[in-house]
Amino acid sequence: MVQQAIPEGQATPRAYDIAKIRRDFPILNRDVASGAKLVYLDNAATSQRPVQVIAEITRFYRDHNANIHRGVHTLSQEATGLYEGVRETTRAFINAPEAREIVFTSGTTEAVNLVAHGWARKFLQPGDEIVATELEHHSNIVPWQMLRDERGIELKFIPMLADGTLDMDAARELIGPKTKLLAVSAMSNALGTILPLEELVPLAKAHGATVLVDAAQAVPHMPIDVQALDVDFVAFSAHKMLGPTGVGVLWGRFELLDAMDPFMGGGDMILTVTTEESTWAEVPAKLEAGTPNIGGVVGFGAALRYLDELGMDQVRAHELDLTRYALARLGDVPGVTIYGPDNAEDRGGVVSFSLEDVHPHDIGQVLDDQGVAIRAGHHCAQPVMAALEVPATARASFYIYNTRDEVDSLVSAVEATSRMFGTG
pLDDT at 6 over 80: no
Average of per-residue pLDDT across 273-298: 94
Same domain as 212, residue 92: yes
pLDDT at 306 over 60: yes
Q: For residue range 365-397, what is the model confidence (pLDDT) as tens digits?
A: 999 999 999 999 999 999 999 999 999 999 999
Active site residues: 380
Residue 2 confidence (pLDDT): 36
Domain boundary among 254, 283, 309: 309
Any domain includes 5? no
- Extract the runs of DSSP E, i.e. beta strands, from 47-185: 102-105, 129-133, 154-158, 179-185
In this predicted structure, which of 197-211, 265-279, 326-340 has the lowest mean pLDDT?
265-279
- Work out the mean pLDDT of the chain and round it to a whole number: 94
Directed axis angle between helix 360-369 and helix 404-421, to 10°? Answer: 120
Cβ atoms within 10 Å, residue 45: 15
Here the CATH number for the domain that contains residue 128 is 3.40.640.10
Q: For residue range 46-85, what is the model confidence (pLDDT) as tens digits?
A: 999 999 999 999 999 999 999 999 889 999 999 999 999 9
Residue 14 confidence (pLDDT): 57
Q: For residue range 188-242, what is the model confidence (pLDDT) as tens digits?
A: 999 999 999 999 999 999 999 999 999 999 999 999 999 999 999 999 999 999 9
In this predicted structure, which of 3-7, 123-127, 294-298, 343-347 has the lowest mean pLDDT?
3-7
Here the CATH number for the domain that contains residue 331 is 3.90.1150.10
Directed axis angle between helix 74-94 and helix 294-310, to 10°? Answer: 40
Same domain as 119, residue 263: yes
Same domain as 293, residue 264: yes
DSSP track, 42-62: BTTT-----HHHHHHHHHIII
Any domain includes 320? yes
Of 29, 18, 28, 41, nearest in space to 414 by CA: 41
The whole domain housing 184 covers 54-309
Q: For residue range 140-182, what is the model confidence (pLDDT) as tens digits?
A: 999 999 999 999 999 999 999 999 999 999 999 999 999 999 9
pLDDT at 309 over 60: yes
Q: H-helix or E-strand containing 37?
A: strand 36-37
User: What total number of domains does the chain contain?
Assistant: 2
Residue spans of alpha helices (H) in 187-293: 197-206, 226-229, 254-259
Domain boundary among 277, 309, 341: 309
Prediction pTM value? 0.94
- Extract the runs of DSSP E, i.e. beta strands, from 221-359: 233-237, 248-252, 270-273, 278-280, 336-339, 350-355
